[in-house]
Chains A and B, each alone.
Chain A
């Protein structure tokens, strides 16, 4: 008797897989990683490696011993969380803090919701924000880029912090930037202080292009964020150029690029429809500029993304695709 396989249609599959998408994102992160090594040297490698290994270990242990499932650490999602967490940290951060960040990111940010696909908030950002609140001093001492130079790392302010201080003390923005030596060219290449993966705008944009070509993400979220930031900060800048920084400054400083391209576009925590993605992007853009300009923290990207992550279920509820 013939022993055929019976299954409902369709009988073929497109061959796409979770791994293909996840490793695609990792490939897109390579240029940024190279830039970060150039700027921050050994520190960048150490922090990234520690973070990735810690994320993998925590994911394995939790899946195997707490959730009693078959561990799926090689699907790439834990590696991405590790890399993104590292990219959001200063390269001089003590490695034990990195490990704590990885534990919070994987344990609380991802696994406590049931693992891949079920988390509400971006795990890497949960880890980062936890560290930012728990270890404010270590988390805000940014080494100035000096590559593999052997001299002791010098720490300096990020452009965002500098501007914040300047506005508080009544200085004009252009003076403050000039005193810190931040030119527009430096901002774009990323030769400035900051988290190890967020400074190299060029590398991040390369990754964006790669992900668009591979169709790993759609353009909607990043472009909506960029457009909102440009328009909103542009209006503020026109109203008072000495008090509010311009769009270029906002686009190329802090975690804007990294957040918009790699963190906000996380599959699990972003909306499902294109319309929803646009709303989500606009929300992130607005919140980021509001926190940066009016809030207590110099940088607002992480908070903005986490807040909009919370709105994602609501956006999914009300933003339906264009029906036939």
Chain B
């Protein structure tokens, strides 16, 4: 009996079209647009001017505050502008546009990993390297990693959990990373264990990636304290709280952080970035992106520079199909629909999913028939039908009492609803409004 989380969950069709596609390095684009806010927290402060020459890996945006992250140039070339650029949601956001003029890397970046053993680095050295490299959670949450690796005073981490679940349908970037860079990942895990001061790490991988489980297991046997934990396929297993519950059996309390049960969760993409930052002194300026979709000619996984327009990724995968109705940044369950294909790849872009016209529009929704299916699938044990009702009438106090703030916005409720009700649409807004109310009360 494979482990999984206990409450709720759904099993959408996996559609991992690109699971067999080796990671291909994408050629450099002509121009990159690097947003200054690719992470949760304050946008980085630009440290370059228009006309400046930059190299690959050079710092161009300085972290502004504790919860923020450094931004590095992903190409070598000239800064064209510092003007805001239209982002994925169509609003202008601060960004740096760089014209690509070659591929000259910063001289501090090592082509080959340092010969040092992970154990030889000190905790401070590792954290400093992570912070300098601007690493953020690459599963999509984009929370600055060094903050996550520094447990607040009074709490201690006991176990490191690595998220290799990739429960979103279609996406395969993490899967390929585990297959092709297993050895580096294990080193990365050892580094994070050292930084956290924990003796145990568990890698949670869903059972549809048997090859990755085997590959990582092979390398993990050579290291100490790293276990591989195959998990039953169930969405949203990649949710932090769900993964901790699945792997350790412990429930993170409502409103609490994983550290409350002594756990720290990191995505495999982040682990790889940590490996590169510490062993190669290489900042986070490229990542693996899955480009996929049923109508796409060659769904695949591409290693591309941050700031590359997604149109170039789509071109590499066979071009934008005629009948594309929707372009999604991320997976189909939690990804964000994009208004155009000129927007850049950011640190949190795990995939680009193209949906055909006929797949992209929703069906008309109808009355709630109180079938209670949303209640049964909610991984947080909430009552989505009731939250939607309260949300439509903006009953914020009642929403707070019904724990709307616990909602992880996984979309299982909307996915399941037989009446096609847009439960999450309303709940998401209700959550935002309730959060505002709670913050206003605190001040």
Q: Measuring CB to CB, which residues of chain A are less than 8 angstroms from any residue of chain B?
A: 1-2, 4-14, 16-18, 20-21, 72, 75, 77, 115-118, 218, 267-274, 316, 320-324
Contacts and interface: CB of A to CB of B under 8 A. Distances in A.
B327 interface: yes
Q: Which of A2, A4, A72 has the most CB of B within 10 A?
A: A4
Contact of B371 (A1, A4, A267): A267
Contact of A9 (B360, B361, B370, B424): B424
A1 B333 CA distance: 26
A186 to B, nearest CB: 36
A13 B13 CA distance: 10
Contact of A10 (B338, B340, B424): B424
Contact of B369 (A2, A5, A267, A323): A267
B117 interface: no
B262 interface: no
Nearest to B338: A4
Interface stretch (B107-115, B207-215, B281-289, B373-381): B373-381
B335 A6 contact: no
B147 to A, nearest CB: 24
B78 interface: no
Q: Could you tell me the dominant secondary structure of chain A's interface residues?
A: loop
B59 to A, nearest CB: 33
Contacts of B443: none
Given A116-B366, A267-B372, 15 more contacts: A2-B339, A4-B325, A4-B338, A7-B326, A8-B428, A11-B332, A12-B13, A14-B12, A14-B415, A14-B416, A72-B366, A75-B366, A116-B367, A117-B419, A323-B380
Nearest to B342: A2
Contact of A4 (B334, B340, B367): B340
12 contacts: A4-B337, A5-B325, A5-B361, A7-B362, A10-B424, A13-B415, A14-B12, A21-B371, A118-B367, A272-B372, A321-B381, A323-B381
B251 interface: yes
Interface of B: 7, 10, 12-13, 169, 241, 245, 251-252, 254, 324-328, 330, 332-341, 353, 355, 359-363, 366-373, 375-376, 378-383, 385-386, 403, 406, 409, 411-412, 414-420, 422, 424-425, 428
Contacts of B422: 8
Nearest to A114: B367
Contact of B418 (A2, A16, A272, A273): A16
Q: Which 5 A-B pairs have the closest CB atoms?
A: A10-B411, A117-B367, A323-B381, A272-B372, A16-B418
A17 B325 contact: no
Nearest to B357: A5
Contact of A16 (B254, B386, B417): B417
A117 to B, nearest CB: 4
B150 to A, nearest CB: 25
B424 A8 contact: yes
Nearest to B425: A8
Contacts of B337: 4-9, 11
Contacts of A321: 7, 375, 378, 381-383
A11 B369 contact: no
A117 B369 contact: yes
Given A272-B385, A321-B382, A21 B418 contact: yes
A5 B372 contact: no
B385 A324 contact: no
Contacts of B376: 218, 274
